[in-house]
Amino acid sequence: MTLCPFEDAHVGHLAPLALTRAAYDLRVGAWTLAERAAHTFAPDRLALHTRAALAGVAAQEHPEAGPVEGGTLFVNGRWLVRPGEVTAAVDAARQRAEARAFVQGDTLLALWHPSPPPEWMAAEAFGVEQAEGVPTETVEGETLMAHLWDLVADLGPRITGDLESMSGLGEHAGTVEDGAVLAEPGQIHVAPGAVVRAGAVVSAASGPVWIAEGAEVGENAVVKGPVWLGPGAAVKPAGRVDESAIGERSKVGGEVHGSVVHSFSSKGHDGYLGNSYLGRWCNLGADTNTSNLKNDYGEVTVWDAVAQDFLPSGRQFAGLFMGDHSKCSINTMFNTGTVVGVFCNLFGSGFPPRHVPSFAWGGADGLAPYRTDKAFRVAQAVMARRDRALSDAERQRLAEIAREHGPE
């Protein structure tokens, strides 16, 4: 069976984080949405549907993907796939010869087809139109990433579920130095090449902890599960992390709570990051702080790229949502529910605006366009520190974002 995650017409609401990647490549716990779907449905092959502007980037992210061939299960890339009655029904459909669609409200959740028409893959958005004429089941209760705040909702249970689905909790093949404390060690995984330094406390009393290959928990740091530290990730000495997913080769210090750091980003110093989401190649200067709760304890509003307005999130806690390659200077203060676009450079005193468009340069005193030639030079220097470089596909996509989404 081929698994094909698809993007529908709603993915624009996930900007700026979905400006540089397909929606299904957003990390929503220990796994991305695509990884969750693959783990649940265990396909033989992977194919990808995405927006035309992101085809090159998605292909780079998934070199194993190929064309749609034979029986294919199309899965909405915004679907937070969890085991249950709906996934069991979807899985059972592929055992039958006839096509079957699963719809929640007006959203196509999944579609099984034994021989899908080739033109489906050329559609800019995949949705209920593809299910026309296909026998349909109506389902309910499934979680879709509809807005930015959904990416960090229920993060603790998501991480717990992901880690409990992995094989290896209770294994400590890495190095646990003398003086380090593992509380509830049966719920902690220390992978080969990982290190827990002297004086560190890793506690799984509130949920499991996964410390992946090459990851490090520094001296006197405190990690309270549920937490996933990805390959090569680091919690700096005296750092405090709880209920968070820290992606590949990211570095965090200070206090991190209820947040996702997608990968290759740094918050290496003191300061607070709460109920927030950082994309790739972000850097927060020393003593950067995010507010995740309003003074009146009211509902947080968050900028929505489609509505071009701040929308009520239904959440009391929401911090910072920062697109790829964005950075801020020391002592930066972010207001509750701030959205920062791709490739922003923020500095100066005072709070930056609660919505900063992509490729913006400045802060509370005003924003100017960030020149792409200068931005790309910075990206090359930053990525070289992780032995990476901007690909042609990434460069092309970022240039499009600068033209289409930069400050006016």
Q: H or E segment at 253?
A: none
CB 260 within 8 A of CB 245: yes
Low-confidence ranges of the chain (pLDDT < 50): none
CB 147 within 8 A of CB 302: yes
pLDDT at 38 (0 to 100): 97
Bridge partners, 74 (sequence order):
4, 111
> How many angstroms separate the CA atoms of 396 and 56, rounded?
9
Residues with Cβ < 8 Å from 321, sequence gap 6 or more? 16, 17, 148, 151, 276, 277, 302, 338, 339, 340
The dihedral of CA 302, 308, 309, 312: what is its sign? Answer: negative
The dihedral of CA 355, 358, 362, 368: what is its sign? Answer: negative
Residues with Cβ < 8 Å from 35, sequence gap 6 or more? none
Tens digit of each residue's pLDDT (9 = 90 or more) over 60-115: 999 999 999 999 999 999 999 999 999 999 999 988 889 999 999 999 999 999 99
Residue type, 325: H
pLDDT at 97 (0 to 100): 82
> How many angstroms separate the CA atoms of 165 and 339, rounded?
32
pLDDT at 96 (0 to 100): 83
pLDDT at 406 (0 to 100): 82
Per-chain mean pLDDT for the chain: 96
Burial of 133 (0-12, 13-18, 19+ CB in 10 A): exposed
